[in-house]
Chain A
Amino acid sequence: KQEVTQIPAALSVPEGENLVLNCSFTDSAIYNLQWFRQDHGKGLTSLLLIQSSQREQTSGRLNASLDKSSGRSTLYIAASQPGDSATYLCAVRAGKSTFGDGTTLTVKP
């Protein structure tokens, strides 16, 4: 059974700092890995999708990497802003998606 773990569970940083969120998974037989953002009380918004054959994806200040063999992914956020405050979830897909519990990020002005 696939298990997805996200560390840390919560993170608080001052505005402008670069940060890394971590995601690990137990079964490397995946189709893809996806990072989502969820604002409090809202739905999930897809940020980045990395196919199993890819190593990384970039979108603006976000960069996600994937090391399938070691079962790890990271989400790098550059020059963090208060508007980045949200819960970030990673999900691995093999038929169905399995989600981690998320990292709740607070960026202080």
Chain B
Amino acid sequence: DAGVIQSPRHEVTEMGQEVTLRCKPISGHNSLFWYRQTMMRGLELLIYFNNNVPIDDSGMPEDRFSAKMPNASFSTLKIQPSEPRDSAVYFCASSFSSGPTDDTFGSGTRLTVV
């Protein structure tokens, strides 16, 4: 398995533009997590899905953020409109919720909003 795949690796966009981050979890994993990491706030859980259903989105900072998981092999995190304070590294991770396997992280998307 290629691991958790995130795209794009880097994104630079202008304030006000829509940004879509993508994630392909490990095949067979049924939990998917979106995190944001900044120097100021560390690693924050934004939302997680279990069996494609959002379980906890309490970490989503504002209505400008939305996440979807239309099927077991794909998820998106969308920011519309983007703001400079959204600049961060966004990680996606997946795991098998009922088993002993550990969370596997993607390489992240480094987002810069100018």
A contact residues vs B (CB 8 Å cutoff): 32, 34, 36, 42-46, 49, 51, 89, 91, 93, 95-99, 101-102
Name 16 extra pairs, CB < 8 A, besides A42-B108, A49-B100, A96-B45. A32-B100, A32-B102, A34-B103, A42-B107, A43-B107, A44-B93, A44-B105, A45-B105, A46-B102, A46-B103, A49-B101, A49-B102, A91-B103, A93-B103, A97-B103, A99-B42
- Contact in complex: A43, B43 (CB < 8 Å): no
- Contact in complex: B42, A96 (CB < 8 Å): no
Considering only CB atoms and an 8 Å cut-off, how many residues of chain B contact the other chain?
Answer: 18
Q: How far is the CA of A45 from the CA of B87 in the complex (A)?
A: 22
Q: Can you report 10 A-B residue pairs in the complex whose CB atoms are below 8 A from each other?
A: A42-B107, A43-B108, A44-B91, A46-B102, A95-B55, A95-B56, A96-B55, A96-B56, A97-B33, A101-B42
Chain A residues contacting B107 (CB-CB under 8 Å) are 42-43
- Contact in complex: B100, A51 (CB < 8 Å): yes
Chain A residues contacting B108 (CB-CB under 8 Å) are 42-43
Chain B residues contacting A42 (CB-CB under 8 Å) are 107-108
Identify whether the interface residues of A are mostly helix, strand, loop, or mixed: strand
Chain B residues contacting A93 (CB-CB under 8 Å) are 103
Most chain A beta-carbon neighbours within 10 Å: one of B33, B101, B104, B105: B105
Chain B residues contacting A99 (CB-CB under 8 Å) are 42-43, 45
CB contact under 8 A between A96 and B102, given known A43-B108, A102-B42: no
Most chain A beta-carbon neighbours within 10 Å: one of B42, B102, B105, B107: B102
Q: How far is the CA of A96 from the CA of B105 in the complex (A)?
A: 14
- Contact in complex: B91, A43 (CB < 8 Å): yes
Binary A-proximity of B72-114 (CB < 8 A = 1, otherwise 0): 0000000000000000000101000000111111111000000
Q: Give the residue of A43, A46, A96, A98 whose beta carbon is less than 8 angstroms from that of B106.
A: A43
Chain A residues contacting B56 (CB-CB under 8 Å) are 95-96
Q: What's the least CB distance linking B48 to chain A, in Å? A: 5
